[in-house]
Amino acid sequence: MNLGELLKYKSQEGVRVCLLVWDDKTSHDNFFLRTGGVMQTHDEETKRFFKHSSVICVLSPRYPSSKMSMVKQQAS
């Protein structure tokens, strides 16, 4: 039994199971295009796996912060 199956099983037993997964904007899963994305969070795959179950799976967008940026801007 893998983790996803365990979460589905526990939710069927009455345990509230909620997942918050980073929504990688570079990942796509549709008829024409299927990419894993830069962060490789498997967000689209995870959402599809739990689609018709009692597990609540929410994709949360991740926006870059100017404070945490790897590239610093120089003052002019």
Under the banding of pLDDT at 50, 70 and 90, the label for residue 64 is: low
Question: Could you report the per-residue pLDDT of 25-46, keeping only the tens digit for each?
Answer: 766 565 565 555 556 567 778 8
Q: How far apart, in whole angstroms, are the C-alpha atoms of residue 61 and residue 24?
A: 7
> 51 pLDDT exceeds 60?
yes
Domain-by-domain residue ranges, the chain? 3-61
Averaged pLDDT of the chain = 77
Strand bridging mode 28-29 / 34-35: antiparallel
